[in-house]
Amino acid sequence: VLALLALFLPARNLQTGPAATATVYSVEVLVSPSDLPPVDLHLISTPPGSTLEQRERLGTAPRYLSLDREGTWVFQGSLQDRRSEPVAIQVPEQRSFTLVIPPAGQ
Protein backbone atom coordinates (compact mmCIF):
# COMPACT_ATOMS: atom_id res chain seq x y z
CA VAL A 1 0.00 0.00 0.00
CA LEU A 2 2.81 2.41 0.87
CA ALA A 3 4.57 1.69 -2.41
CA LEU A 4 1.38 2.44 -4.37
CA LEU A 5 0.86 5.69 -2.48
CA ALA A 6 4.44 6.70 -3.24
CA LEU A 7 3.89 6.04 -6.93
CA PHE A 8 0.58 7.83 -7.32
CA LEU A 9 0.86 10.78 -4.96
CA PRO A 10 2.82 13.74 -6.33
CA ALA A 11 6.07 14.50 -4.61
CA ARG A 12 5.89 17.63 -2.49
CA ASN A 13 8.75 19.92 -1.76
CA LEU A 14 7.89 21.22 1.68
CA GLN A 15 10.97 23.40 1.87
CA THR A 16 9.77 26.78 0.57
CA GLY A 17 12.35 29.00 2.19
CA PRO A 18 14.21 29.52 5.41
CA ALA A 19 12.56 27.95 8.42
CA ALA A 20 10.44 30.43 10.34
CA THR A 21 10.98 30.57 14.07
CA ALA A 22 8.42 32.03 16.40
CA THR A 23 9.63 33.90 19.45
CA VAL A 24 7.60 33.45 22.60
CA TYR A 25 8.06 35.71 25.60
CA SER A 26 7.25 34.21 28.99
CA VAL A 27 5.87 36.76 31.46
CA GLU A 28 5.03 36.17 35.13
CA VAL A 29 1.70 37.60 36.28
CA LEU A 30 1.48 38.19 40.03
CA VAL A 31 -1.52 39.25 42.15
CA SER A 32 -1.63 41.50 45.20
CA PRO A 33 -2.76 40.80 47.85
CA SER A 34 -1.32 37.33 47.46
CA ASP A 35 -4.01 35.61 49.54
CA LEU A 36 -6.78 36.20 46.98
CA PRO A 37 -8.37 33.37 45.01
CA PRO A 38 -7.42 33.24 41.31
CA VAL A 39 -8.11 36.54 39.54
CA ASP A 40 -9.48 36.82 35.99
CA LEU A 41 -6.82 38.14 33.61
CA HIS A 42 -8.00 40.43 30.79
CA LEU A 43 -5.99 41.60 27.78
CA ILE A 44 -6.69 45.30 27.17
CA SER A 45 -4.15 46.18 24.47
CA THR A 46 -1.58 44.35 22.32
CA PRO A 47 1.32 45.38 20.11
CA PRO A 48 0.68 45.36 16.34
CA GLY A 49 0.84 41.89 14.78
CA SER A 50 -0.09 39.90 17.88
CA THR A 51 -2.35 36.90 17.37
CA LEU A 52 -4.00 37.52 20.75
CA GLU A 53 -7.18 39.58 20.66
CA GLN A 54 -7.75 42.67 22.74
CA ARG A 55 -10.44 42.45 25.42
CA GLU A 56 -9.88 38.71 25.59
CA ARG A 57 -10.01 36.86 28.92
CA LEU A 58 -6.72 34.98 29.18
CA GLY A 59 -7.57 32.74 32.12
CA THR A 60 -6.66 33.39 35.71
CA ALA A 61 -3.65 34.74 37.59
CA PRO A 62 -1.20 34.29 39.20
CA ARG A 63 0.44 32.42 36.34
CA TYR A 64 3.02 32.50 33.59
CA LEU A 65 1.77 33.89 30.30
CA SER A 66 3.19 33.39 26.79
CA LEU A 67 3.21 36.49 24.59
CA ASP A 68 3.95 36.48 20.87
CA ARG A 69 5.26 40.01 20.13
CA GLU A 70 7.64 42.62 21.44
CA GLY A 71 6.05 45.89 22.41
CA THR A 72 3.57 47.37 24.84
CA TRP A 73 0.96 45.09 26.39
CA VAL A 74 -1.81 46.23 28.76
CA PHE A 75 -3.58 43.90 31.20
CA GLN A 76 -6.23 44.19 33.88
CA GLY A 77 -7.33 41.83 36.64
CA SER A 78 -10.81 41.33 38.04
CA LEU A 79 -12.28 39.48 40.98
CA GLN A 80 -16.07 39.60 41.29
CA ASP A 81 -16.90 43.34 41.09
CA ARG A 82 -13.36 44.52 41.82
CA ARG A 83 -10.89 45.52 39.06
CA SER A 84 -7.23 46.36 39.14
CA GLU A 85 -5.89 49.45 37.43
CA PRO A 86 -4.65 48.61 33.91
CA VAL A 87 -1.00 47.56 33.94
CA ALA A 88 1.20 48.29 30.92
CA ILE A 89 4.43 46.38 30.33
CA GLN A 90 7.10 46.63 27.67
CA VAL A 91 8.19 43.21 26.34
CA PRO A 92 10.96 41.95 26.25
CA GLU A 93 12.38 44.39 28.81
CA GLN A 94 9.75 43.61 31.44
CA ARG A 95 9.04 39.96 32.19
CA SER A 96 6.71 40.28 35.19
CA PHE A 97 3.95 42.50 36.50
CA THR A 98 1.53 42.65 39.43
CA LEU A 99 -2.23 43.11 39.29
CA VAL A 100 -3.30 44.99 42.44
CA ILE A 101 -6.90 44.16 43.33
CA PRO A 102 -8.54 46.78 45.58
CA PRO A 103 -10.17 45.69 48.84
CA ALA A 104 -13.86 44.78 48.78
CA GLY A 105 -16.20 47.76 49.11
CA GLN A 106 -13.90 50.28 47.44
Burial class (CB in 10 A: 0-12, 13-18, 19+), 44: middle
DSSP label of 101: P
H/E stretch holding 98 reads: strand 96-100
CA nearest neighbour of 61 among 17, 13, 99, 10: 99
Tens digits of residue pLDDT in 71-100: 999 999 999 999 999 999 999 999 999 999
DSSP 49-90: T-SSPTT-EEEEESEEEEE-SSEEEEEEEEETTEEPPPEEEE
Residue 17 has a pLDDT of 53
In the chain, the amino acid numbered 51 is T
| Averaged pLDDT for residues 58-73 | 95
The pTM score is 0.77
18-54 pLDDT per residue, tens: 555 678 999 999 999 999 999 999 999 999 999 988 7
Q: What span, in angstroms and rounded, lies between the C-alpha atoms of 62 and 28?
A: 8
